[in-house]
C-alpha cells in the first residue's frame, strides 16, 4: 500500500526516472527539424505528450467482459505517439523517416551531469538504479549509449508487470528490487506528475524542474527540488 513520504529516514538508495530525467526526450528535435524544417520542436513536444497519454490510457483500461489487459510495450506506444504527432502536424512520415526518428529515440542524448552525479552517489555507498516506463530493450540501449551501465545497480522496467507509472504497482518495483522500504529510497524525476505520484507512494522525492514549470496543483510539493541532477547530492 502507498505510504506517506517522510524525510526522517536516511536514504540508502536512489532511483531515477529515465526519460526526461537521465535522457533528454526533446533531443530528437534536432533530427526532426532536419526532416521537417520549422516543425522539429513542435514534433518533439507533441510526440512526448502523446507517448505519456497512451501509457496512461492503456494502464487505466481493460478490454471486454473478461477485462483483459490492453498493455503495449513502451516502444510501441512511442512509435504510435510519433505517428499521431506527425498526422496532427500534417507531416509526411514515410517508413524511412519513421525508422530514423525511432532509432534516434533509442539513443537519446544523456544530460551532461549524469555520470558525475552517479559516480558521487556510488562513492557514498548508495544503491543506484533506474525505474522507468521504458521496456527492457529500450533501457538497455539508452543506458549503454550513455555509458552508465557500470554506475547503475538496477535497471527496472515496468514491462515486468504490464502497468505504467503512475500505478502503485509500478513504484512497488523499486522496493522489490532494492529490498528497501520506499521511505528509505530517493526517487528522482524531471516529470512533475511522476515525482508527485512517487511521493504519494512513499518515496522521498526530488523533482528536477529543468524547464521552470509550475508545481502540480493536486498534491503536496516534492520534498526536494532542483534544476539539474546535482540536486540529488544535497538530498542524500
pLDDT in tens, 146-182: 999 999 999 999 999 999 999 999 999 999 999 999 9
Name the pTM for this structure.
Answer: 0.92
Residue 62 and residue 148 in one domain = no
> What stretch of H or E contains 234?
helix 231-235
Q: What is the pLDDT of residues 179-232, one digit of tens each?
A: 999 999 999 999 999 999 999 999 999 999 999 999 999 988 888 999 999 999
Q: What is the pLDDT of residues 198-208, one digit of tens each?
A: 999 999 999 99
Residue 217 and residue 159 in one domain = yes
Residue 99 and residue 124 in one domain = no
Active-site residue among 17, 24, 135, 159? 17
Residue 17 and residue 132 in one domain = yes
pLDDT category, 8, cuts 50, 70, 90? low
Residue 63: domain span? 25-106
pLDDT at 66: 81
CA distance 171 to 155: 13
Cell, residue 191: 516529470
Residue 79 and residue 122 in one domain = no
* Residue 153 is a catalytic residue: no
Judge whether 3 lies within some domain: no
Q: How many beta carbons lie within 10 A of that of residue 212, not counting itself?
A: 6
Residue 120 and residue 19 in one domain = yes
Amino acid at each position: 500500500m502507498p505510504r506517506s513520504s517522510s524525510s526522517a529516514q536516511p536514504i540508502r538508495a536512489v532511483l531515477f526516472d529515465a526519460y526526461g530525467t537521465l535522457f533528454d526526450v526533446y533531443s530528437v528535435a534536432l533530427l526532426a527539424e532536419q526532416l521537417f524544417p520549422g516543425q522539429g520542436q513542435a514534433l518533439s513536444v507533441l510526440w512526448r505528450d502523446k507517448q505519456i497519454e497512451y501509457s496512461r490510457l492503456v494502464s487505466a483500461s481493460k478490454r471486454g467482459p473478461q477485462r483483459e489487459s490492453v498493455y503495449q510495450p513502451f516502444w510501441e506506444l512511442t512509435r504510435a505517439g510519433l505517428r499521431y504527432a506527425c498526422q496532427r502536424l500534417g507531416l509526411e512520415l514515410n517508413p524511412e523517416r519513421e525508422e530514423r526518428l525511432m532509432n534516434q529515440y533509442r539513443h537519446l542524448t544523456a544530460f551532461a551531469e549524469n555520470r558525475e552525479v552517479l559516480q558521487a552517489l556510488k562513492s557514498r555507498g548508495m544503491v543506484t538504479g533506474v525505474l522507468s516506463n521504458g521496456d527492457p530493450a529500450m533501457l538497455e540501449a539508452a543506458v549503454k549509449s550513455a555509458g552508465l551501465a557500470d554506475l547503475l545497480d538496477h535497471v527496472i522496467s515496468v514491462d515486468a508487470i504490464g502497468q505504467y507509472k503512475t500505478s502503485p504497482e509500478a513504484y512497488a518495483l523499486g522496493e522489490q528490487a532494492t529490498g528497501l522500504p520506499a521511505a528509505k529510497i530517493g526517487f528522482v524525476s524531471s516529470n512533475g506528475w511522476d515525482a508527485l505520484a512517487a511521493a504519494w507512494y512513499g518515496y522521498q522525492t526530488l523533482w528536477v524542474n529543468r524547464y521552470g514549470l509550475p508545481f502540480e496543483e493536486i498534491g503536496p510539493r516534492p520534498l526536494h527540488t532542483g534544476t539539474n541532477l546535482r540536486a540529488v547530492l544535497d538530498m542524500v
